[in-house]
Amino acid sequence: MTRLASNSATARDIIQELVRNMREGLEPLQYTLLAPAIYHVYLHADDLERLRGIVPRIIDEAHRALDGELALLNRAPLSDKLRLSRKPAPKVDAPPGGWTIDILENTDEETQPGDIVIYSELAMPSKPEYGAGSMTKRIATSRLSGELKTSQKFDEKPDSAAEAYATIEYEDQNGRQTYRVTKNQIVIGRGGRDYWTDLTLHTVPDVSREHIRLRRDPDSGKFFLKDLSRLGTTVDGQKIPSSIDYVEGEKKDKNLEVGLPVRARIGLADVVFLDFRVTGAQ
């Protein structure tokens, strides 16, 4: 772990962290390396406000820096040029659709000026051992109070032809969306550092990082909902009891669930509303 000086995040810091995230997320294939294509950068509110006027310029130069890093990684070593190597080093492929970079406010309460958190995504080629669905590699890098950290996770994305047990329609800051429930349990919320959600909502902090858990009983096909939030959850306008209790300052999950009807309107902190419908329900 490398310790850096703790101060406000600069544009150069952000670009350097993007390049580091890309390098950390490289995935080797037989003949090539794949690089993450999508990057979400989270900054402290003060840093974002200070840099807001040059965010487009930061993103533009970050594109150039990522391109430059790829060119550097693909530069043939001397052994290749002299044909001393039996097998050429694998080349890093640029994302077919180019780089996608968003710079957003980090609403975690513990965030400090200078902190930079980046989540990137790399769509993995389908592999038989993973089943019918494809995989998404998610890379999290952070510079928190001067310390550099990295973590990775693989999420399975069901094949579009996979059976959907239910659908959820909703609207957040990215517009109108539809989510297909293809697993027996999903977590819904804003997500964030140390919070991996199946359905990530882009909305205000009133919605918790992990707001609700939706569980399907595979034997009966019935759905159950657990409220994990601070500001509450409603089903068809009625507030449901929270599954979270605090005992001597510690967070305890009472494992309290409520059954869901085949059609329901789920309200998260009265901010985002999910129109839930079991497949085949009229």
The pLDDT tens digits for 108-129 are 777 889 999 998 988 775 544 3
Considering the domain architecture, whether residues 86 and 206 belong to the same structural domain is answered as no
Q: Which of 257, 260, 261, 234 is nearest to 244 (CA)?
A: 257
Report if residue 121 sits inside a domain: yes
Same domain, 77 and 138: yes
**What pLDDT shows up at residue 84?**
53
Question: Which residue, among 115, 158, 157, 159, has the nearest Cα to 140 in the 3D structure?
Answer: 115
Q: What is the mean pLDDT of each run of 10 residues along the chain (282 residues)?
A: 61 97 92 91 92 95 96 74 58 89 81 91 60 68 87 67 85 90 91 78 90 93 94 96 84 90 96 95 70
The residue segments making up the domain with residue 219 are 166-278
**One domain, residues 263 and 230:** yes
Domains in the chain, number: 2
Can you give the pLDDT at residue 10?
95
Domain membership flag for residue 237: yes
- Write down the pLDDT at residue 4: 42
Cβ within 8 Å of residue 87, ≥6 positions away: none
The verdict on 46 and 98 lying in the same domain is yes
DSSP 178-243: EEEE-SSEEEEE--BTTB--SEE--S-TTS-SS-EEEEE-TTT--EEEEE--SS-EEETTEEPPPS
> Where is the domain boundary, 100, 131, 157?
157
Q: What CATH number did the domain enclosing 23 receive? A: 3.30.2320
**19-72: per-residue pLDDT in tens?**
999 999 999 988 899 999 989 898 998 999 999 999 999 999 999 999 999 999
Residue with tokens 């101060």: 7
Find where tokens 């882009």 sit: 202
Residues 138 and 175 in one domain: no
pLDDT at position 126:
52
Kindly report the length of the chain.
282
Residue 4 inside a domain? The answer is no
**DSSP code per residue over 41-89:** EEE-HHHHHHHGGGHHHHHHHHHHHHHHHHHHHTSPPHHHHTT--SSPP
* Residue type at position 80: D
Looking at residue 3, its pLDDT comes to: 39
Do 17 and 151 share a domain, yes or no?
Answer: yes
Task: Say if pTM beats, i.e. exceeds, 0.85.
Answer: no
Assess whether 76 and 189 both reside in one domain: no
Determine the pLDDT at residue 153: 78
Task: Give, as one character, the DSSP assignment of residue 3.
Answer: B
Bridge partners, 258 (sequence order): 225
